[in-house]
Amino acid sequence: MEETAKRRILLGITGGIAAYKAAELARALQKNNVEVRVAMTEAATHFVGTATFQALTGRPVALDAWDAGVPNAMPHIELSREADAIVIAPASADFLAKLALGLADDLLSTTCLARNCPLIVAPAMNREMWDNPATQRNVERLRADGIAILGPAAGDQACGETGMGRMLEPEALLEAILSHFAPRRLAGRKVVVTAGPTFEAIDTVRGITNRSSGKMGYALAAEALAEGAAVTLVSGPTALAPPAGVIFVPVTSAAEMLAAVEASIGEADLFLSVAAVADYTPARPSARKIKKSDEALRIDLEPTVDILARVAARPGAPFCVGFAAESENLAEYAQAKRKRKGIPMIVANLVQQAIGRDDNEVVIHDDAGAHPLPRAAKAQVAAAILSHALGLMASRPPHAAVRPLQQAS
């Protein structure tokens, strides 16, 4: 790393068994030319002592809003102003709730509220706490507020249970934190993402749809945005709030999605086709509600346009990433689909392991073969998928219309 780029991080530690891993993170950050200052909540001190962090960083640990040895007696302001970013690791469920509400009842939460720098949180908690709708609501809120959420990962937990909620390992956190400071890899680039299901009308009230939640597509849109891209998110009906900063185009049917994509795809560098687009649509939707009768009802369906294949076939097409949700023969079907659609990269998952969930386990297929990614939160998976796509884009031979990307330094 360049000598000139010394960064300063305020490492906030909240109450959780993963607090002991924060010591390793502090060391790893320092080894990577990052100056670390530590602030702990009272609960965190029950899991690991302040002396550890004081020794590691050579600076007193900030604990108390009233006595932090700060000349102007405003430690929350001073702590945030001297940091390039605040990293909360581990971030307990309680602390996430405080951040979501903007509470400020101790030094660390007050500092976060008073910050003028990016905030990054690494949640760590029992899987039921993570899955609890209250926590999920809070995480959604934090994302919408522009707070970066790293993890959690799935695996064995300190409580003896297994599931989502483990804090990411210090090496993974280090990499994500450093990449936060890295140059934005999609600055000045245009990305179009499709997400969610489509709804194909049968009559004025009924229709054909599917169980896609849109979470994966929205997570990818957020990642592309974080990499500096101008992002258009074309979305079928979902219950999600679009990431702040995207150009949001809500659509209903596959035909509307096609029209919205065609209207925005010109000049795009990257097309992420995450939507679960209906393959068939009723040929003659009824303009009034169909009445019940004793007769069998037959609805004629006609194929929709394959939006992804159509974009991939454009002259000077953007780099296209497809998704394949399969219920069996994952690798074989995904590779066949990739070739059929004429795209360089497809992300495959088993429907039974992905739809509606907050985590996902996928395998990327490209010309070089299969690249399985570990099960993780969809935001984490989205970051890995985008990195893979950027790697392929950067190594692509120059194309008349696709400008080669610069590798991130």
Note the residues at the interface with ligand CTP (CB under 6 A): 194, 254, 273, 275, 277, 279, 304, 306-308, 322-325, 337
By C-alpha distance, which of 149, 144, 10 is closest to 68? Answer: 10
| CA 12 to each of CA 39, 71, 88, 261, 295: distance values in angstroms, whole numbers, following the listed order | 5, 21, 4, 42, 67
Nearer of residues 157 and 194 to ligand CTP, judged by Cβ: 194
Record the tokens describing residue 160, joined without a space.
Answer: 């003896």
**CB nearer to ligand CTP: pick between 164 and 216:** 216
Q: Which residue's CB is nearer to ligand CTP, number 12 or number 318?
A: 318
Rounded to the nearest whole angstrom, what is the least distance from the CB of residue 278 to ligand CTP in the complex?
Answer: 7
Shortest distance, position 252 Cβ to ligand CTP, whole Å: 14
Tell me the C-alpha distance between 224 and 319, whole Å: 14
Residue 329 or 409 with smaller CB distance to ligand CTP? 329
Q: Tell me how crowded residue 293 is: count the other CB atoms within 10 A of its CB.
A: 7
Q: Give 197's DSSP letter.
A: B
Sign, Cα dihedral of 187, 385, 333, 392: positive
Half-sphere CA count of 251, side-chain side, radius 13 A: 28
Rounded-to-integer distance, Cα 311 and Cα 322, Å: 11
Tell the smallest beta-carbon distance from residue 110 to ligand CTP (Å).
Answer: 45
Active site residues: 159
Minimum distance of ligand CTP from residue 225's CB (angstroms): 20
Helix (H) or strand (E) holding 100: helix 93-101
Burial group, residue 71, by CB count within 10 angstroms (0-12, 13-18, 19+): exposed
Q: Which is nearer to ligand CTP, 28 or 202 (CB)?
A: 202
Rounded to the nearest whole angstrom, what is the least distance from the CB of residue 383 to ligand CTP in the complex?
19
The neighbouring-strand residues paired with 238 are none
